Structure 1
């Protein structure tokens, strides 16, 4: 595992600054370790807040608006582990409808989801970065304008190198 949390995504000749997990990058991601998993991760679909963004984002991926009752299960003991859920939910979960804007636009990454293996990490997204570029809990985050641009270009996957 590396100890860095700032990186860059390359798309053609353009490099987009990104923020990674507080624990750096890991080849052996575990639930709660705050690392970003290394590897090539396809983008499954795009989720967005229509009340903040208006029209669906311009991209070729499937797009779905989120609602106040949407969440993502990160409970390793629950049958819904690393799956979207409706709230309230009886397992530990993360709310997708956030006040801070981080999930106003996000892509679900194909990580530990086909099928999910308990304890190997959940809720790994490409999402909006905090203005102060604070590390994530294991996701990859970029500015909202960069995320819009990346999705418009036809981005299908991101690669997180092991170091």
Structure 2
């Protein structure tokens, strides 16, 4: 679904099956602070996807920067070259940032994720703004929407889906509409729905 100011939420398409973190969910750092006392909070390396509401801020993929897809993208597009790295080292000044390592004079990280992979998982994806404003070291990094490795296979903390669905979603994501990812267990969704201005809909559809 997408948010249309003053008109409420409107369905944009059919339900999409996704995979989440291998250890479930934990409260993330998004548009709302973590819900204190309501469960564990997202930590680096915990295998949990972040729960909450998060801005979607950029697209990435293997297509060239001057490709037809990149030219029509309505969010900033990052071409996944071998030098593009997602920094997951909490001690780094670049923690939870995607950087071109060729432009960094003195890399200060001991671990990172390659955005140009040998598989199709990052062939196309979107950046989820979890722990993004003044990142808290160790609170979780590099959360994406991306292509799943196999149907139903869990992730390390991202949200994954089939290539066709990820491609379609990336095509209609529009920065001018301030797209959001709402990701909550059903009971928490119902508990927070009114306070967070979320739509009413069936758990089955």
Q: TM-score band (shorter)?
A: 0.7 to 0.9
The structural deviation recorded for 1:13 is: 5.0
Q: Check whether the contact 2:22–2:48 (CA below 8 A) recurs between aligned residues.
A: yes
Higher Cα radius of gyration: 2
Of 73, 92, 117, which aligns to 1:78?
Answer: 92
Q: How does 1:142-161 map to 2 (within 5 A)?
A: 142-154=161-173, 156-161=179-184
Q: If each structure's helix is expressed as a fraction of its own residues, which one has the higher value? A: 2
Distance verdict in 2 for CA 1:106–1:42, change over 3 Å: same
Task: Please list every run of 5 or more consecutive structure 2 residues that lacks an aligned counterpart in the other structure.
Answer: 1-9, 28-40, 187-205
Cα distance per residue 1:53-103 (max 9 Å; x no partner): x53255421222121111111001111110112347441111111001111
Return the TM-score normalized by structure 1: 0.84
Structure number with the higher strand fraction is 1
Q: Report the counterpart of residue 61 of structure 2 in structure 1.
A: 48
Partner of 1:60: 74
Which residue in 1 is equivalent to 2:32?
A: none
> Retained in 1: the 8 A contact 2:25–2:50?
yes
Structural RMSD (CA): 2.0
The runs of at least 4 consecutive aligned structure 1 residues that moved more than 4 Å come to none
Where does structure 1 lack aligned partners over 5 or more consecutive residues? 1-9
